Amino acid sequence: MPSPQSSLAALGAGPRSTLAELFAADPARVEDFTHDLGGIRFDFSKTHLTREAVAGVGTEDYYDALARLFAGEVVNPTEGRAAEHPAERGFGSPDAVALAAQRRARMRGLIDAIEAGAFGDITGILHIGIGGSALGPALLVDALGRNERRYRTEILSNIDGQAVDEALGRLDPATTLVAIASKTFTTAETLRNAEAALAWLQEAGVEDPYGRLIALTAAPDKAIEFGIDETRVLAFAPSVGGRYSLWSAIGFPAALALGTDAFEALLDGAAMVDEHVAEAPAEANVPLLAALADLTYTQGHGAATRAVFAYDERLRLLPSYLQQLVMESNGKSVRLDGSAVEGTTSAILWGGTGTDAQHAVFQLLHQGTHLVPVEFIAVAEGNDEQDPAHHRELLLNCFAQGAALMTGRSSDDPHRNYPGNRPSTTILLDELDPSALGTLLAFYEHRTFAEAVLLGINPFDQFGVELGKDMARAIDDPDTRAAFDPSTRALIEKAGL
């Protein structure tokens, strides 16, 4: 049986035409590689994808895997689990979809009770979680609630006491609810920060501090053991992975801050992508095309990184959200069967916001030695309350950068020469609303999934993070500490630990 990777040969095969040559050879290139989905335009025409290369990739495995994903089958065999995040937006086995809807109704009930004053006068929420239990909610609240949100929302993730003090300092213990978000309810940072928040409520004289705690978890028993009443435990399925969990109870602070209708619209926007990938043929499947463009550079040309620049302040947290989604999913070196993957798997994802990044890192993108596929994300419609002239300039800058990377500018002076032929993808949202953000994030999930399937790897486990956790425990124990290497022992001694 051919390995899944052998079907990728078409992406990097043969002499590669320049982007200018690809445009010159095909007057329909923009139409062929531009797709509109859920109020978002995806333009892959400035990548080196060709119709022939797309047609040459075997996508049977991908569509099979997609069907198994949506059927709630075990697609995460190393952990013996399904990956049921699509069920949160209505795509999955009937049981999983029904359970997710029932749990969402419970979340809505709790939010209604908060609004009706069941917890007294609540003005703020402290959300404690890390990784997938923090990055999604942080992005949602920051992107959609920057100018208007119904509750002050602080997301606390880092175990650093500075982060704890700063988050608590911005909230009033008398009017704050604390949501402890942890899929496993065992994560050291989250539990330590939860204890700190509890002590903060107690020290402020809050009458029933435990009554202010809400748990968002796939381990309800552990939350109840922690002292949280069952009525305030919002559960989700263990088959929903941490970095795919913002659609579940983990999205609670966003649903509270933005309103449950906005949260439903977010899910509907994501469901549009589920429907799309299930129905679209390969040449029109937007996440699949994006994955093929990624693989063209990683597998075909050894590109180590991919850069994402949000030309919209509201999306400034998108690159860090995507870092976990992409790198924790596909930063692997073995296939499902344990054999080594050939070539590069996940690109290292990095990025920032435009135009800031133009004045910091774009030098390397235009003239450096690395092949870095760039992704531009912009929103056609600016915020009504802002001066449209600023938004216009923002967009012009964004489009200028993509054009400059592609066309370059030749000069006899090597220092002033821009080689061009540098690939980029542009993602242009009509507007930034909950539905469009849902579509955008589900697009990234499906792109990551497609890439994993084509590489033959499992995107749903994350054993790579376990060793460091084990070592952190062992380093704190005098009996096991002695076994650490001399460098580490010397550092511990120097820090006086």
Q: Which two tokens stand for residue 495?
A: 């820090």
Is 187 an interacting residue with respect to ligand F6P (CB under 6 A)? yes
Among 89, 183, 212, 391, binds ligand F6P (CB under 6 A): 183
Is 326 an interacting residue with respect to ligand F6P (CB under 6 A)? no
Is 184 an interacting residue with respect to ligand F6P (CB under 6 A)? yes
Contacts of 378 (CB under 8 A, 6+ apart): 310, 311, 312, 354, 394, 395, 398, 426, 427, 428, 429
- Restricting to residues 192-231, name those near ligand F6P by CB under 6 A: none
Is 127 an interacting residue with respect to ligand F6P (CB under 6 A)? no
Binding mask of the shown chain, residues 424 to 463, with x at each position contacting ligand F6P by CB under 6 A = --------------------------------------x-
* Residue with smaller CB distance to ligand F6P, 196 or 361: 196
Among candidates 77, 14, 75, which has minimal Cα distance to 48? 14
Is 333 an interacting residue with respect to ligand F6P (CB under 6 A)? no
Q: Output the CA–CA distances (angstroms, integers) from residue 292 to 44, 303, 444, 457, in the order listed.
A: 10, 13, 13, 15
Angle in degrees, 0-180, between the axes of helices 434-455 and 260-279, rounded to the nearest 10? 40
Whether 328 sits among the annotated catalytic residues: the reply is: yes
Q: Which of these is catalytic: 60, 279, 359, 415? A: 359
CA 322 to chain centre: 4
Is 330 an interacting residue with respect to ligand F6P (CB under 6 A)? no
- How many whole angstroms separate alpha carbon 430 and alpha carbon 169? 37
Q: Which of these is catalytic: 21, 195, 230, 469? A: 469
- Per the CB < 8 A criterion, the answer to whether 140 and 266 are in contact is yes
Among 35, 232, 243, 391, binds ligand F6P (CB under 6 A): 243
- Per the CB < 8 A criterion, the answer to whether 397 and 311 are in contact is yes
Among 242, 259, 434, 438, binds ligand F6P (CB under 6 A): 242
Q: Which of these is catalytic: 154, 328, 375, 445? A: 328
Could you write out the three-class secondary structure of 291-345?
Answer: HHHHHHHHHHHCCCEEEEEEECHHHCCHHHHHHHHHHHHHCCCECCCCCECCCCC
- Per the CB < 8 A criterion, the answer to whether 380 and 431 are in contact is yes
* Residue with smaller CB distance to ligand F6P, 364 or 465: 465
Minimum CB separation of residue 172 from ligand F6P in Å reads 26
* Residue with smaller CB distance to ligand F6P, 222 or 366: 222
- How many whole angstroms separate alpha carbon 497 and alpha carbon 494? 8
- Per the CB < 8 A criterion, the answer to whether 247 and 43 are in contact is no
Minimum CB separation of residue 48 from ligand F6P in Å reads 33
Minimum CB separation of residue 128 from ligand F6P in Å reads 10
Could you write out the three-class secondary structure of 350-393?
Answer: EEEECCHHHHCCHHHHHHCCCCCCEEEEEECCCCCCCCHHHHHH
With CB atoms as reference, the residue minimizing the distance to ligand F6P is: 242
Minimum CB separation of residue 406 from ligand F6P in Å reads 36
Minimum CB separation of residue 81 from ligand F6P in Å reads 13
- How many whole angstroms separate alpha carbon 306 and alpha carbon 346? 9
Whether 469 sits among the annotated catalytic residues: the reply is: yes
* Residue with smaller CB distance to ligand F6P, 330 or 462: 462
Q: What strands lie across the sheet with 152-156, from one edge to the other?
A: 152-156, 124-128, 176-181, 213-217, 233-235
Is 182 an interacting residue with respect to ligand F6P (CB under 6 A)? yes
Minimum CB separation of residue 346 from ligand F6P in Å reads 15
- Restricting to residues 133-152, name those near ligand F6P by CB under 6 A: 133
Minimum CB separation of residue 352 from ligand F6P in Å reads 23
Pick the stretch among 62-70, 89-97, 161-169, 183-191 that binds ligand F6P (CB under 6 A): 183-191
Among 75, 130, 379, 440, binds ligand F6P (CB under 6 A): 130
Tokens 């949602």 belong to residue: 140
Among 132, 209, 300, 382, binds ligand F6P (CB under 6 A): 132
- How many whole angstroms separate alpha carbon 467 and alpha carbon 465? 6
- Per the CB < 8 A criterion, the answer to whether 106 and 234 are in contact is yes
Q: Which two tokens stand for residue 401?
A: 């950068």
Whether 391 sits among the annotated catalytic residues: the reply is: no
- Report the interface residues with ligand F6P, using CB under 6 A: 130-133, 182-184, 187, 190, 242-243, 328, 462, 465
Residues with catalytic annotation?
A: 328, 359, 469
